[in-house]
Chains A and B, each alone.
Chain A
Amino acid sequence: MNDLTEERKPPVATTGILGWLRINLFSSWFNSLITLFVLYILIQFVPWILNWTIFAADFKYNFNGEEIINREMCSRVLDPETGGACWAIIYVRFYQFMYGFYPREEVWRVNLSYIMLAVAVVPLLFDKFPLRKHFLKFTYAFPIIAFFLLNGGLGLEPVSTNKWGGLLVTLVLGCTGIALAFPLGIILALGRRSNLPVISMMCTLFIEFIRGVPLITLLFFGMVMLPLFLPEGIDMDGLARVLVAVTLFQSAYMAEVIRGGLQAIPQGQYEAARSIGLSYWQMNMKVVLPQAIRISIPSIVNTSIGLFKDTTLVIIVGLLDLLGIGRGALADTTWLGLAYEVYFFVSLVFFIFTFAMSRYSLYLEKKLKTGINMGAD
Chain B
Amino acid sequence: MRSNANFFSDEKFRSIFFQTLVIGLFALGIYFVVQTTAYNLEKRNIATGWRFLTDPAGFDISFSPFINFKSTDTHLDVYFVGVLNTLLVSFCGCIAATILGFLVGIIRLSSNWLLVRVAYIYVEFTRNVPLLLQIILWYSILIQLPRVKQSLEFLDIFFISNRGIYSPRPIFENGFSYVFIAFVLALISSFILRRWAKKRQDNTGKQFPVTSSAFGMIIFVPLLLFFILGSPLSFDYPALKGFNFKGGMVIRPEFIAMFLALTIYTAAFISETVRSGILSVTKGQREASASLGLKKSWIMRLIIIPQALRVIVPPLTSQYLNLTKNSSLGIAVGYADLVHGFGGISLNQTGQAIECMVIVMATYLTISLTISVFMNIYNRSIQFKEK
A residues within 8 Å of B by Cβ? 23-25, 27, 31, 34-35, 38-39, 42, 195-199, 202, 209, 211-217, 220-221, 224-225, 227-232, 305, 309-310, 312-313, 315-316, 323, 327, 339-340, 343, 346-347, 350-351, 354-355, 358
Contacts and interface: CB of A to CB of B under 8 A. Distances in A.
Nearest to B332: A316
Contacts, number: 139
A213 B353 contact: no
Contact of B369 (A198, A212, A310, A327): A212
Given A197-B19, A217-B360, A347 B33 contact: no
Contact of B329 (A42, A216, A228, A355): A216
B140 A355 contact: no
A24 B111 contact: yes
A312 B130 contact: yes
B33 A229 contact: yes
Given A24-B112, A196-B19, A339 B140 contact: yes
B190 to A, nearest CB: 31
A301 B23 CA distance: 34
Given A24-B112, A35-B112, A195 B15 contact: yes
B216 to A, nearest CB: 29
Contact of B19 (A24, A38, A198, A347): A198
A221 B361 CA distance: 10
29 contacts: A27-B111, A27-B112, A34-B112, A35-B112, A39-B114, A196-B18, A196-B19, A199-B19, A202-B22, A209-B365, A213-B368, A214-B326, A214-B328, A214-B339, A214-B364, A216-B331, A217-B360, A220-B347, A225-B354, A228-B37, A230-B36, A312-B130, A312-B133, A315-B132, A323-B130, A327-B136, A343-B137, A354-B129, A358-B127
B128 interface: yes
Max chain B C-beta neighbours (<10 A), residue from A27, A35, A217: A217
A68 B357 CA distance: 46
B339 A358 contact: no
Interface string B7-41: 00000000100110011001000000100110111
A215 B324 CA distance: 12
B130 A217 contact: no
Q: Interface residues of A: mostly helix, strand, loop or mixed?
A: helix
B128 to A, nearest CB: 4
B172 interface: no
B220 interface: no
A38 B339 contact: no
Interface string B245-272: 0000000000000000000000000000
User: Top 7 closest A-B pairs, CB basis?
Assistant: A24-B113, A214-B328, A214-B325, A309-B130, A354-B128, A198-B19, A212-B368
Nearest to A32: B112
Nearest to A197: B19
B264 to A, nearest CB: 13
Interface residues of B, number: 48
Given A212-B364, A225-B357, A31 B339 contact: no
Given A313-B132, A350-B128, 13 more contacts: A35-B112, A35-B114, A38-B112, A196-B19, A212-B364, A214-B326, A224-B347, A224-B357, A225-B353, A228-B41, A229-B33, A229-B36, A323-B136
A309 B130 CA distance: 5
Contacts of A195: 15
A327 B137 CA distance: 11
B343 interface: yes
Given A216-B329, A217-B361, A316-B331, A224 B353 contact: yes
Max chain B C-beta neighbours (<10 A), residue from A196, A209, A213: A213
Contact of B113 (A25, A198, A220, A358): A25
B115 interface: yes
Given A202-B26, A225-B353, A351 B115 contact: no
Contact of A312 (B39, B132, B353): B132
Nearest to A28: B111
A373 to B, nearest CB: 22
Contacts of A212: 364-365, 368-369
B125 interface: yes
Given A35-B114, A220-B343, A310 B365 contact: no
A360 to B, nearest CB: 13
Contacts of B131: 309
A38 B332 CA distance: 34
